[in-house]
């Protein structure tokens, strides 16, 4: 005779269910935060790169496209500021300092971490042979504490120096487009508020330069042109020699003409025209002799005779 048993357990809320849901919620929040941070970083990077590229191009700098390269744009931003004048001595080539300081800080941090880990490892190894077991000694703890304090002081000093350098660089750049006081305010806020520097560069990229702040753009030097040696031709063309003409035309000699025209001699003309002789004309015109003058007596007699003649005529 067999017996069968069935067991059923009913738990309202399981322990593992709570942990799984909590883990999923934490991961969801973490992914949202990471996505927002990536979007924030991309917007800041694009705004900063576009603004710096436009400003560098308007200033006539040689390589404005460095604004899109992560580490090179720090150098370009420093060089766009120019020489920074201080009371003691000017800062020349601030772009190099802005590029080199983070590299030096990274190297120093790596060395400090290595020293702290080395001291911690050596102290732990030495503590295994001690009488009190594996506890670290007081000397090891004090050494780690001293190195940690030195490292924190160096990190604070680096952050202060780098922030001051960034403020000075941004004051120089912002001062080309706005007043001195506003340039200082924008530079300080750029060092404190995230995304503020990128927005400032993007907004000021197309603003007019202040009077006297225009960049002195000079044309690039023309590289010398080297003389070009002509290469020898494959089939050189020989010089053309004029061939002798078949029937050369002799030069014309006026003395050796075939039928020269003789000079005209007026004495040897065929029908010369004789000169006109007024004495030998056929019908000469006789000269006209003037009439003698009429006297007064003749005139009176003529008048007296006139009425008689008239009366005779009337009769």
Quick one: 265 exposed, middle or buried, by C-beta within 10 A (0-12, 13-18, 19+)? exposed
Question: Looking at residue 249, what is its pLDDT?
Answer: 64
From the CB of residue 186, how many other CB atoms can be counted at a distance below 10 Å?
24
Beta bridge partners of 251: none
Quick one: residue 207, left, alpha or beta (phi over 0 = left, psi -120 to 50 = alpha)?
beta
Question: Chain-wide mean pLDDT for the chain?
Answer: 75
Asked whether residue 293 carries a pLDDT value surpassing 60, the answer given is no
Question: Looking at residue 35, what is its pLDDT?
Answer: 94
252 vs 236: CA distance, rounded Å: 40
286 vs 236: CA distance, rounded Å: 101
Beta bridge partners of 130: 133
Beta bridge partners of 91: 84
308 vs 29: CA distance, rounded Å: 175
CB 140 within 8 A of CB 118: no
To which residue do tokens 């390589």 refer?
Answer: 63
Asked whether residue 186 carries a pLDDT value surpassing 90, the answer given is yes
Residue 106: name the closest of 74, 154, 37 by CA: 154
pLDDT digits (tens, 9 = 90+) for 55-96: 999 988 888 999 999 889 999 999 998 888 888 888 888 999
pTM: 0.57
Quick one: residue 60, left, alpha or beta (phi over 0 = left, psi -120 to 50 = alpha)?
left
For the chain, what are the domain ranges? 15-204
Query: What are the residues whose beta carbons fall under 8 Å from the beta carbon of 41, sequence distance 6 or more?
Result: none
**Section 139-156 average pLDDT:** 82
84: helix, coil or strand? strand
Q: Which residue has the higher pLDDT, 28 or 305?
A: 28
184 vs 165: CA distance, rounded Å: 13
Buried b (16+ CB within 10 A) or exposed e, 49-82: bbbbbbbbebbebeebebbbeeeebbbbbbbbbb
pLDDT digits (tens, 9 = 90+) for 233-271: 566 666 666 665 556 666 666 565 555 566 555 555 555
Confidence of residue 108 (pLDDT cuts 50, 70, 90): confident
**Section 204-210 average pLDDT:** 89
**Section 100-129 average pLDDT:** 79
Q: Which residue has the higher pLDDT, 170 or 134?
A: 170
Question: Looking at residue 215, what is its pLDDT?
Answer: 76
278 vs 153: CA distance, rounded Å: 149
């Amino acid at each position: 005779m067999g017996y069968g048993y069935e067991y059923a357990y009913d738990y309202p809320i399981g322990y593992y269910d709570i942990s799984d849901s909590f883990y999923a919620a934490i991961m969801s929040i973490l992914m949202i935060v990471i996505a927002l941070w990536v979007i924030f970083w991309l917007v800041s990077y694009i705004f900063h790169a576009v603004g710096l590229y436009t400003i560098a191009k308007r200033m006539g700098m040689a390589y404005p496209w460095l604004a899109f390269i992560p580490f090179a744009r720090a150098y370009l931003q420093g060089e766009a500021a120019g020489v920074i004048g201080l009371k003691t001595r000017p800062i020349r080539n601030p772009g190099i300092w802005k590029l080199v300081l983070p590299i030096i800080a990274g190297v120093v941090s790596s060395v400090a971490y290595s020293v702290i880990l080395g001291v911690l490892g050596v102290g732990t190894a030495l503590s295994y042979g001690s009488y009190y077991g594996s506890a670290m000694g007081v000397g090891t703890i004090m050494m780690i504490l001293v190195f940690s304090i030195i490292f924190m002081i160096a990190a604070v000093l680096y952050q202060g120096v780098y922030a001051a350098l960034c403020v000075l660089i941004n004051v120089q750049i912002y001062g080309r487009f706005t007043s001195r006081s506003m340039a200082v305010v924008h530079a300080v806020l750029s060092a404190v508020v995230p995304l503020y520097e990128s927005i400032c560069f993007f907004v000021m990229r197309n603003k007019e330069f202040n009077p006297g702040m225009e960049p002195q753009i000079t044309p690039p030097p023309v590289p010398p042109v080297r003389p070009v040696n002509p290469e020898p031709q494959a089939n050189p063309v020989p010089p053309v020699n004029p061939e002798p003409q078949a029937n050369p035309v002799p030069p014309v000699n006026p003395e050796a003409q075939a039928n020269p025209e003789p000079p005209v001699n007026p004495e040897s003309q065929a029908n010369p025209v004789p000169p006109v002789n007024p004495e030998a004309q056929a019908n000469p015109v006789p000269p006209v002799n003037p009439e003698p003058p009429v006297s007064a007596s003749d005139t009176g007699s003529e008048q007296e005779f006139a009425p008689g003649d008239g009366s005779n005529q009337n009769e």
